[in-house]
């Protein structure tokens, strides 16, 4: 064969699987079955920046039956999911699966789209608000898949959840699709949950309201993953990222729980140099963190890292030198966003790095202590964070099962009774996280230790903490609240709660 | 089915591909064919840090016939390739393919390993020194595959080049395998060329001489990609990264070429705000950059980015505000390394982001001007950077073809005659880069413009630059040097020069 620069190329050479002659620099081998690539090259001169969402949807070839994905870094302040789905609906596309890392009250317009048949399937880690209520009423024919955050990353990385088109709300994007979440009028911080989508979706559209010149220098997800960039007027409301109360609780019960929890951590022996910690953004969590911070200062403990959804409280601990680093998969307030941008020890991680159980190593597996919540918990420490006591979907695992399994010490905290309903129950409506990976349950009425952790129990007894049996907590709750009326379920399954490895830990049935 | 937390799970649900019941948190679904994963999970308690190279080789299961990969960021100061291959040889492993992004004189011990049958194949982008000489003498039975840097990233990303085990020289690593090149006694800067290997090799071993606590905060390649970390006494000599002369040339011929080149760039119309530029580290390149810098200052031009192998010279231009950013796939001196660590506008990129032609967008495709070298060039502007005029392998494309194709203006510079041998020839020994993507050839005797770029030619004529025909340069060279004795080749093919898309642009035959 003579190739296009006039050189004689043998048809075959031993040991080479193919000898495709050069055909010219712009006659790409892209169509050759010898070099398969899922990626479509964007040749110089082509433009990624499109002028409308409609144009983007047409360019990526959105059609009925596709799976489209979204991330939830704007939480209840997200505008992108509704904006995209509204346009998809207008195009006459039907039978769409929404794979969003979480669904919030702001996504109420999805209810209408489900009614219209535009959306017929949902795959998410957490859902609350009108969509969750509509699903609980049986509006969606197909059962929802509920995953953990790490399980979602696993499912996408492994091809178990295939995404046709990912839409990434990008607070700042350059013209080639390098994006970040720390700059711009709608900054939301880490884009960690969008990383698996960007890496594996067939097509990826960055949606921004802050388009800048090339090259962006703080890059969360780089241009090699982005097909198109679309500019909207506004992609989200930054204040929507704020989770929980953002202030330390003043409730005496919650303060008692927080104090016990900090003492459990102190007694566990883990609170020493190199200590790593994850907790939430609610009032009790912040109070716990506040007590832990005080103990760390008193005992001159320097921790290694704070993990997870990051709050300004953790930022202060980083700045005080109580942590060497923050590993940030999601910012839970604007102080965290600003720290992520300017502090080199505050680093952004993707959700696989955070918690995918099938990588070569994730961050939750390096975690000493996590403090998590529970809607219900049983005597075997099985936790429900998916459904309310009346059986409706009002949450989901999020990172619950991930951090519980990965950490050396997983503490679940909750008041014994909430709104006259017991937290410790005979049988949780749903099991979201298996009891075998919950070590300690802290309530204002005492601290129960998983029988599998005799070592911890002994330490708490030695520290004179009020250790009680789970059965006793359950019976106390029952005595106060009375025997709950059992919920009656229909056969119909509304959702499947997956464990992080993809196995099914429970199903959620329709309430009669 | 009843799962391990006692919940009744239906065998099938419409629309779900599988319903594997939860079997316990540590009974992973990893072996399930339903959730295929190439990655082996490292459960908490397992350790990544191994005490010897032998242990690492055994853990990853190195055996005869495997492909093992290396990166070349230490250039001629690398200790890792020899260290690994020496141990592989001692284990009795044979028939290994070395996939190293480049091979330097320091890798001379490979010659003995080829003689012993330990190494029987080589896949690289550039080779010089004793290994290249031995290959040129026919020592290796199988032909070497020569790629461009972007072509190597493409081949790995697309599975065209499968790597069994990647060994990554990591100047700093934490105990979970987060690594960087900017810290530690053997810092080398960007680890860009190792990124595809880390992403796609079945097993990845980080080799470090600076093991630090978790978590590392400047992370070039994260722990999700690293199976093991091995500590050696010394992984490389940082001074080996220095490429070229690092000083501006004093040769009058080279200065003349540099001056012409800068004037070509000025005349091209591309030297305006947003200008982006790549050049090498040799004396002529630095002289060119120096002239360009002066023009930028005089004309108050603010460029967008400097690309490629980065030198301290480009760092100074960044610091002076002449570039907004540096995109760094490789540091060519220690000033660049230190800047990469501390300057947030100096950013590290992987080789796919640099130049993989099959991503959704790479950096060379955003490049305005690149200045490249040539060993030989013909009247059609086809360039040889692979073989010397006597036919021996003494280089390779590296990023030559990538930057040439991606850039808006590709200028090749060379003296008309080197060591009494003409640069402009009738027929280059090898065609590494096709003439169709070379726009201008600058020599001390004048400037030739590719007939495909009449627009540029007109601009240079208007700027009163000494534009000449390529044929005239060729004839001048021939007149001075005399007619060269043609090299006679055997049929045997020693190496295959791939173009960046995987097609074969030339083959290198054995010299008689």
Provide, as residue numbers in chain A, all residues whose Cβ is less than 8 Å from the Cβ of B349.
222
**pLDDT surpasses 50 at B356:** yes
Domain presence at residue B237: yes
Provide, as residue numbers in chain B, all residues whose Cβ is less than 8 Å from the Cβ of A507.
7-10, 13
Q: Which two tokens stand for residue B244?
A: 């070229």
pLDDT tens digits for B417-434? 998 999 999 999 999 999
What does the pLDDT average to over A170-194?
Answer: 98
B198 and B116, same structural domain?
yes
Q: How far is B137 from chain A (nearest CA, A)?
A: 19
Q: Which two tokens stand for residue B304?
A: 């967008």
The pLDDT of residue B23 is 86
Nearest to A387 by CA among A494, A240, A242, A253: A494
* CA A289, A295, A300, A304 torsion-angle sign: negative
More confident residue, A320 or A283: A320
Verify whether the Cβ–Cβ distance B13 to A349 is below 8 Å. Answer: no
Provide, as residue numbers in chain B, all residues whose Cβ is less than 8 Å from the Cβ of A142.
14-15
Give the residue from B195, B211, B241 where a domain finishes. B241
What is the domain-level CATH number for residue B369? 3.40.1080.10
Provide, as residue numbers in chain A, all residues whose Cβ is less than 8 Å from the Cβ of B353.
222-224
* CA A112, A117, A118, A121 torsion-angle sign: positive
The pLDDT of residue A36 is 45
Query: How many domains does one find in chain A?
Result: 2
Give me the residue from B4, B35, B41 closest to A160, CB to CB: B35
Q: At A417, is the pLDDT very low, low, confident or very high (cuts 50, 70, 90)?
A: very high
Give the C-alpha separation, A291 to A270, whole Å: 15
Q: How far is A167 from chain B (nearest CA, A)?
A: 15
Give the C-alpha separation, B394 to B373, whole Å: 14
Domain presence at residue A236: yes
* Collapsed DSSP state (helix, strand, coil) of residue A313: helix
Verify whether the Cβ–Cβ distance B274 to A504 is below 8 Å. Answer: no
> Which secondary-structure segment (H or E) carries A362?
none
Alpha helices in A184-332 (DSSP H): 195-200, 252-267, 283-298, 312-319
Would you give the DSSP letter of residue B101?
S
Q: Which two tokens stand for residue A228?
A: 């198109």
A492 burial via Cβ count (<10 Å: 0-12, 13-18, 19+): exposed
Verify whether the Cβ–Cβ distance A214 to B304 is below 8 Å. Answer: yes
Give the C-alpha separation, B127 to B104, whole Å: 6
A335 and A213, same structural domain?
no
B452 and B401, same structural domain?
yes
Domain presence at residue B24: no
> Which secondary-structure segment (H or E) carries A246?
none
Domain presence at residue B246: no
- CA A422 to chain CA centroid, nearest Å: 28
B155 and B284, same structural domain?
no
Paired strand residues for A422: A417
A395 and A461, same structural domain?
yes
Domain presence at residue A315: yes
What DSSP assignment string belongs to A384-448? E-SB-TTS-B-B--BTHHHHHHHSSEEEEE--SEETTEESB-SS-S--SB-GGG--EEEETTEEE
Which residues fall within 8 angstroms of residue A341, CB to CB, at 6 or more apart? A182, A183, A218
Give me the residue from A217, A325, A405 closest to B215, CB to CB: A325
Domain that holds residue B110: 49-241
Q: Which ipTM did the prediction report?
A: 0.94
B352 and B221, same structural domain?
no
Give me the residue from B7, B30, B325 closest to A358, CB to CB: B30
Q: Find which of A1, A224, A321, A326 to mutate to test the B interface (most B CBs within 10 Å of its CB).
A: A224
Beta carbons of A31 and A212 less than 8 angstroms apart: no
The pLDDT of residue A24 is 86
B224 and B148, same structural domain?
yes
pTM exceeding 0.90: yes
B116 and B54, same structural domain?
yes
Residue B359, CA distances (Å) to A52, A220, B231 in order: 24, 17, 34
Return the HEC string of B25-55.
CCCCHHHCCCCCCCCCCCCECECCEECCHHH
Q: b/e for A427-459, b at 16 or more Cβ within 10 A?
A: ebbbbbbbbbbbbbbbbbbbbbbbeebeebbeb
Strands A421-422 and A417-418: antiparallel
Residue B394, CA distances (Å) to A428, B129, B386 in order: 71, 7, 6
Name the residue of chain B whose CA is nearest to A344's CA: B217
Give the residue from A241, A275, A299 where a domain finishes. A241
B33 burial via Cβ count (<10 Å: 0-12, 13-18, 19+): exposed
pLDDT tens digits for A252-295? 999 999 999 999 999 999 999 999 999 987 888 899 999 999 99
Give me the residue from A32, A219, A505 closest to B5, CB to CB: A505
Provide, as residue numbers in chain A, all residues whose Cβ is less than 8 Å from the Cβ of B19.
496, 504
A200 and A88, same structural domain?
yes
Beta carbons of B198 and B226 less than 8 angstroms apart: yes
**pLDDT surpasses 80 at B442:** yes
Give the C-alpha separation, B66 to B60, whole Å: 11
pLDDT tens digits for A105-150? 999 999 999 999 999 999 999 999 999 999 999 999 999 999 999 9
**pLDDT surpasses 80 at B94:** yes
The phi, psi pair for A340, rounded to 5°, reads -55, -40
Domain presence at residue B459: yes
Beta carbons of B447 and B465 less than 8 angstroms apart: yes
The pLDDT of residue A244 is 59
- If phi over 0 gives left and psi between -120 and 50 gives alpha, with beta otherwise, what is residue B44? beta
pLDDT tens digits for B225-243? 999 999 999 999 999 998 6
- What number of residues does chain B have? 512
- CA B328 to chain CA centroid, nearest Å: 11
Strands A179-180 and A172-174: antiparallel
**pLDDT surpasses 50 at B30:** no
Give the residue from A220, A241, A262 where a domain finishes. A241
Give the C-alpha separation, A155 to A183, whole Å: 30
Verify whether the Cβ–Cβ distance B496 to A13 is below 8 Å. Answer: yes
Verify whether the Cβ–Cβ distance A217 to B435 is below 8 Å. Answer: no
A143 and A180, same structural domain?
yes
Report the 10 Å Cβ neighbour count for A418.
14
Q: Find which of A4, A196, A360, A431 to mutate to test the B interface (most B CBs within 10 Å of its CB).
A: A360
B451 and B371, same structural domain?
yes
Provide, as residue numbers in chain B, all residues whose Cβ is less than 8 Å from the Cβ of A437.
25
The pLDDT of residue B38 is 45
The phi, psi pair for B494, rounded to 5°, reads -95, -25
Q: Which residue has the tokens 């959700």?
A: A351
pLDDT tens digits for A434-471? 999 999 999 999 999 999 999 999 999 999 999 999 99
Q: How far is A284 from chain B (nearest CA, A)?
A: 27
Give the C-alpha separation, B65 to B68, whole Å: 10
Would you give the DSSP letter of residue B77?
G
Kindly calculate the radius of gyration of chain B based on its CA atoms and give it in whole angstroms: 25
* Collapsed DSSP state (helix, strand, coil) of residue B496: strand
Provide, as residue numbers in chain A, all residues whose Cβ is less than 8 Å from the Cβ of B154.
35, 37
Q: At B389, is the pLDDT very low, low, confident or very high (cuts 50, 70, 90)?
A: confident
Give the C-alpha separation, B458 to B468, whole Å: 12
B275 and B209, same structural domain?
no
Q: How far is B253 from chain A (nearest CA, A)?
A: 31
The phi, psi pair for B331, rounded to 5°, reads -90, 135
**pLDDT surpasses 90 at B110:** yes
Domain presence at residue A343: yes
Q: At B36, is the pLDDT very low, low, confident or very high (cuts 50, 70, 90)?
A: very low
The pLDDT of residue A28 is 56
Q: How far is A203 from chain B (nearest CA, A)?
A: 9
The pLDDT of residue B249 is 85
**First-to-last C-alpha distance (Å) of chain B:** 74
* Collapsed DSSP state (helix, strand, coil) of residue A192: helix
Give the C-alpha separation, B389 to B374, whole Å: 11
Give me the residue from B143, B358, B505 closest to A39, CB to CB: B358
**pLDDT surpasses 80 at A16:** no
Give me the residue from A35, A362, A503 closest to B22, CB to CB: A503
Domain presence at residue A408: yes
- Any idea which of B32-46, B104-118, B121-135 has the lowest mean pLDDT? B32-46
């Amino acid at each position: 064969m003579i190739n296009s620069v006039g050189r004689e190329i043998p048809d075959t050479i031993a040991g080479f699987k193919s000898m495709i002659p050069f055909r010219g620099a712009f006659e790409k081998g892209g169509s050759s079955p010898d070099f398969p690539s899922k990626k479509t090259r964007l040749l110089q001169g082509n433009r990624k920046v499109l002028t409308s969402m409609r144009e983007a949807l047409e360019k990526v070839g959105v059609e009925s039956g596709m799976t489209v994905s979204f991330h939830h870094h704007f939480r209840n302040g997200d505008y992108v999911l509704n904006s995209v789905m509204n346009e998809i609906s207008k195009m006459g596309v039907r039978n769409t699966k929404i794979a969003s890392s979480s669904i919030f009250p702001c996504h109420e317009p999805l209810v209408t789209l489900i009614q219209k048949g535009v959306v017929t399937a949902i795959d998410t880690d957490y859902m609350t608000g009108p969509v969750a209520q509509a699903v609980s009423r049986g509006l969606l024919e197909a059962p929802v898949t509920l995953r953990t955050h790490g399980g979602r990353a696993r499912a996408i990385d492994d091809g178990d959840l295939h995404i046709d088109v990912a839409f990434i709300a990008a607070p700042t994007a350059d013209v080639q699709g390098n994006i970040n979440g720390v700059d711009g009028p709608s900054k939301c911080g880490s884009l960690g949950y969008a990383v698996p989508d960007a890496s594996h979706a067939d097509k990826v559209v960055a949606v921004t309201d802050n388009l800048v010149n090339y090259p962006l220098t703080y890059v969360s997800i780089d241009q090699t993953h982005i097909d198109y960039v679309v500019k909207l007027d506004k992609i989200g409301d930054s204040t929507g990222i704020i989770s929980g109360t953002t202030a330390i609780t003043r409730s005496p019960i919650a303060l008692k729980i927080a104090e016990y929890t900090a003492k459990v951590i102190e007694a566990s022996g883990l609170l020493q140099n190199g200590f790593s910690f994850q907790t939430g953004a609610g009032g009790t969590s912040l109070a716990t963190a506040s007590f832990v911070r005080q103990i760390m200062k008193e005992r001159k403990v320097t921790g290694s890292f704070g993990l997870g959804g990051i709050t300004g409280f953790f930022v202060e601990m980083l700045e005080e030198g109580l942590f060497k680093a923050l590993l940030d998969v999601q910012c839970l307030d604007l102080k965290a966003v600003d720290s992520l941008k300017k502090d080199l020890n505050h680093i952004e991680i993707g959700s696989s790095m955070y918690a995918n159980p099938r990588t070569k190593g994730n961050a939750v597996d390096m975690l000493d202590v996590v403090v998590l919540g529970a809607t219900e918990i049983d005597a075997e420490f099985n936790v429900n964070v998916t459904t309310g006591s009346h059986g409706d979907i009002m949450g989901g695992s999020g990172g619950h099962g991930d951090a519980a399994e990965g950490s050396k010490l997983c503490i679940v905290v909750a008041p014994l009774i909430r709104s006259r309903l017991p937290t410790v129950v005979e049988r949780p409506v749903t099991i979201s996280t298996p009891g075998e990976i919950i070590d300690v349950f802290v309530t204002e009425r005492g601290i129960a230790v998983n029988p599998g952790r005799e070592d911890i129990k002994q330490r708490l007894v030695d520290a004179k903490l009020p250790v009680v049996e789970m059965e006793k907590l359950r019976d106390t709750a029952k005595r106060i609240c009375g025997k709950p009326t059992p919920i009656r379920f229909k056969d119909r399954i509304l959702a499947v709660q997956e464990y992080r490895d993809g196995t099914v830990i429970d199903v959620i049935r329709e309430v009669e």
